[in-house]
Structure 1
């Protein structure tokens, strides 16, 4: 029997056609054409990951046709919902991809390490080359420092919600991002966060919030606003 797959899919080549009555199977050629041995009342099934078709039972009429057209519908697998979960404990070490305890590098650290290996391994002592390496190393060191601060700010965001910074530390909402940058510059806070000493980090962060409010003039503003109220209370007494 000769047939052809008809579908709204772009590709109909390589579809499996199987006669389950005699276990013979073929795959469609370019254009969806196929030829398979069968007799009346044999059942054909068609398999493709993105197409669906009803089984076809061979009839006497099929043998009188030049081609038997089989319609296959395109399957639309539409996701109802996508949930993204950040598994912070899953990494290359946890998955066994790298040995436990192996030193890992951030992108900036990796660049700086590579530059250092180049300068040590090079046997060329030409001044321009050394100056270039020195300048690049200096640039990469600065890039590493910026990356460390950006990572620290991201870590702060994960550990301290904006609501906590606004309501507890009394930093106005529009100044939160500036405060995060200010805190990331503090060595005591950075050291506490690196050591995962969050009690100390929270204590230092509270101190930094007080300093930041004073630098921005928030404390002075609050004092000015409270002054008339105190004066009025004294007059009433």
Structure 2
């Protein structure tokens, strides 16, 4: 009877211990020198961090939580927090490198394909290949302009004593339209960079954004001034925390929960 009473009294304390969060010291065991910046997410508690240069990290978690370790160069790894991990408050992880599948290669005793025009282009010529850098030509390292940038430059410049192109284009509104188009293209490039910064698993499991809604979600975030500021700061942790908060707002508006 006494043992039963003791068990009843201790049971709430046991449950409380199960729900208590602990700080877990983690370590990525891979020998690769590129261990910094790997995302470690608690998709149950919706918290996250990134690894240091030596692959170490710290994150809070409790029994039953699930960690997702994700990066560009490694396969996504899911770890349920069991009693042993919670008791030791430590975690060691070995990640598997992503393997890129290559196209099939046919080995031949020669480099000829049977297509005359193609084979002529593959025939080696005597002497060194003449490159602009070897000739000492100026402006060889200048980044080429995009089509829109070239059109805008042409619209704003012209020849002669009194260039007419800038005047005509300003009156017709062509220069303004080209500026708007260039701004849109640069914005698209920035949004694509942010989208590709994080693994798809982060969007689907951590932020709970469906794959077919991902582009719409990124545009939803981009209209906020904070998004632009975080892009300029180039801080993935702050950006991820911002995306997490915006994802809650986005799911509520679109009734995705």
Normalised-by-shorter TM-score class: 0.3 to 0.5
- TM (norm. structure 2) is 0.39
- TM (norm. structure 1) is 0.42
Greater relative contact order (CA < 8 Å, ≥ 6 in sequence): 2
Larger Rg: 1
